[in-house]
Each structure stands twice: as C-alpha cells, then as structure tokens.
Amino acid sequence: METPAESLFRAEVAQWLQAHVPERLRHLTFRPHPSEGMPWYKQLSARGWIAPHWPVSHGGMDATPVQQVILMEELARAGAPDIPTQGLNHIGPILIECGTPAQRARHLPAILAGNVIWCQGYSEPGAGSDLASLRTRAVIEGDSLVISGHKIWTTWGHHAHWMFSLVRTSDGEARQHGITFVLIDLKSPGISRRPIRTIAGDDEFCEVFLDDVRVPVTNVVGEIDGGWKVATALLSEERLRIGSPALALKALLRLRRLAASLPQSSRTDELLAHAEIETETLIASFLNVAEAEQAKTATDSSYLKILATETVLNILDALQEIAGEDAPIRDATLTPHGYLDYSEMFLQSRRLPIYGGTNEVQRNIIATKVLGMPATRRRQ
C-alpha cells in the first residue's frame, strides 16, 4: 500500500506526463529515431526524472524502489516512448562507482542531458553469453590503446556517440584475466558500423568493426587487465534493470486494450487475470532486489532477469492467443480503445531471454552461486 507521499508523487507524475508526452510518440512499439526520441529524453531530464536511481550528488533523484516503480507504471500508462538506457542504466552507474573524477565530470552530465547516446560493446561473434572468450584485442602503445576487433548485437550502436567495451589486453591463465574495460569515442578513425534488421522489422542492433582504433589510456575504467571486475559489476546492474517491470507493464497495457475490444469470454478473463498476477509478482520481486541493492545487502539478480523476461513473453503469448486470426497483423491498428499491437511487441520480445546473458546461463548462475550445485566442466 502506498504512503500518502507516494500517492502524491504518483498523481504529480501522471498529471505531468498527460500534459507533456507528445501525442505522436504515445504507445509506440518501436523505439523512435533519435531525432524524435531524444527531445522527449531531454524534456524528461529537464523535469528531473531521467535517472531516478542515480544519487542526487550526481544529478539523479535518489528515488526509492517504490518511486522508481511508480514512474515505470505511469510512463507505461501514458504511453511514453522508449528511450536509450545504456548511459542511464549501465555506464552511468559504473562510472559513479568505478570511474575517475575526470571520467565522471566528462560523461555523467552529458548522459543526463541527453547530449550523448551510449552503446555496449560486449558481445562478439563466438562470444555472447560466454563473454570471457572475447577476441577483440588492444595493444598498449605509449599513452594509447590500439584496438582491433568486431562487436555484434550492439543495441543502437549505429546511433551512439560513445561505446563502453571489453577488450583483451593480455592472455592470463584464466580467460577472465587480461580483459580491460574501456570507453571508446565512436568518431575515432578506424570504426565502421552496420545495422542489423531483426524479425520485428526494427534495426535496434548493430555490428561495430574496429580497425587499429586509438583510444587514450585515460579512457580505461579501473585497471588495465582488471576489466572483468568492472564488467561483472555492470552486468549485475544491467540484470536488475532488465528485471524491472517496465516492459511487462507495457505488454499488460496492450493485453488490457485487446481484451476490452473483444466480447467477454472466460478464457480471456483467465488470461488477463493471470497476466495481472504475474506482473504484480514481478513488481514485488523487483522491489525486493532493488531494496536489497540499495541497502548494500548481498543478492543475486539473475532470477529477476529470468522472471521479468519470461513474464513479458507469457503476457504477449496470451495476447497472441486471444487475438485469434488477427494475431499475424504486423502494424498497430487504431480502435476505439486506442492502438492495438498484435504482433510487433511479440516479435521484439523474442530477444529478451537472450540479451544480458541468456536465461539458460542465468539458471546456471543460480544453480552454482545460489544453490551451491557443482559447476559443469567445459568440454575441451
């Protein structure tokens, strides 16, 4: 149950969003092009709500987990468009925790203001969930790293200005040794990018090719060869944010709209009720993990990533079932109940259990680190 202060915050957020979310951007499935989406990002930033989970000392809100969920719920209800979050949810928190004062001063204000878009250079061909097998290599030459390699599945890499990346700087006994975490200006010579079109028809992903790209050593976060520690800290934050109820709330809104447009049936009522319960379960789980993180209590967010992504899949599977013969329709359709999205979000959701570490890998992490089961040895 919300406190009076939380209820007042919800009313304030709902009223402001109703007045300020551009009508043309409401209830989109695809993330709008930067030329349309970034003005909204900057508007939300000017209101002070762009980084609720950041500390006030670095321009955030120090919002409680409940306040964060209230923002997610009201943003979904208002149909606010998706914004790029790699800066807000990934590199921003890592720079706050691990960056130098100079790195924080240079990059955090630009992230908050929406002047710079970030992307994540982790996955490579042959190194996705098995990230420690990455082969992009950096050689130290004076005060620079010279980087060559190939990154793939880079979300919004073709729109981004900067990329935070993992590169191999030496070969240690363990594969996790010799990896360095570095910030790369994508205007640097030697970088080329190629968008990847998905089954949903969007180009969210991109390949990034690096050919003898020179990066100042001052762009290294943490220590040379010590990037795995930084990377795992970022992955923990990433899985918490992937585990938020934001996408489930958007999916649930679509299911509610579809159910309202159809004749009442016991099966539709059953599926809708189940989706409501799953979403509330996810919200409670997110609050539990976020509160533990805020209190610096040891916790593992792997189960939350599984729960969140599979909740979205289940809701959209239900939507496909009750849509019946309309399920294959690709474009959102305007009805008296608003736009109905039959398959766009369904197709986009197929990637959710894969990125951020596949759900199968997350289950292995839970088995070994939480339940204490023996790890399976890799075959040679």
Q: Total domain count for the chain?
A: 3
Residue 313: predicted pLDDT: 96
Q: How many CB atoms lie within 10 A of CB 267?
A: 10
Q: Is residue 232 part of a domain?
A: no
Q: Is residue 334 part of a domain?
A: yes
Phi/psi of residue 358, nearest 5 degrees: -55, 155
Q: Is residue 104 part of a domain?
A: no
* 68 and 124 belong to one structural domain: no
* 139 and 213 belong to one structural domain: yes
Residue 298: predicted pLDDT: 62
Residue 380: predicted pLDDT: 44
N- to C-terminal Cα distance for the chain? 54
Closest CA to 278 of 239, 323, 319: 319
Dist. CA 184–CA 291, nearest whole Å: 33
171-198 as b/e: b if 16+ CB within 10 A: eeeebebbbbbbbbebeeeebebebeee
> 284: domain CATH number?
1.20.140.10
Q: How many CB atoms lie within 10 A of CB 375?
A: 10
**Last residue in a domain, options 199, 225, 251:** 225
Q: Is residue 101 part of a domain?
A: no
* 267 and 346 belong to one structural domain: yes
* 221 and 248 belong to one structural domain: no
Q: Of the residues 204, 237, 238, 278, which is catalytic?
A: 238
> 152: domain CATH number?
2.40.110.10
* 260 and 366 belong to one structural domain: yes
Q: Is 97 a catalytic residue?
A: no
Dist. CA 261–CA 267, nearest whole Å: 14
Phi/psi of residue 163, nearest 5 degrees: -130, 130
* 348 and 278 belong to one structural domain: yes
> 47: domain CATH number?
1.10.540.10
**Last residue in a domain, options 83, 108, 136:** 83
* 44 and 130 belong to one structural domain: no
Look at the chain and count its residues: 380
Under-50 pLDDT residues of the chain? 379-380
* 192 and 307 belong to one structural domain: no
From the number of C-beta atoms within 10 Å of its C-beta (0-12, 13-18, 19+), residue 292 rates as middle
Domain span holding position 50? 4-83
Interval 216-248: pLDDT, tens = 999 999 999 999 999 988 877 887 888 899 999
* 271 and 365 belong to one structural domain: yes
Interval 305-320: pLDDT, tens = 999 999 999 999 999 9
* 203 and 279 belong to one structural domain: no
Residue 378: predicted pLDDT: 53
Please give the model's pTM, rounded to 2 decimal places.
Answer: 0.90
Q: Look-up: residue for tokens 């006994």?
A: 173
**Last residue in a domain, options 191, 225, 259:** 225
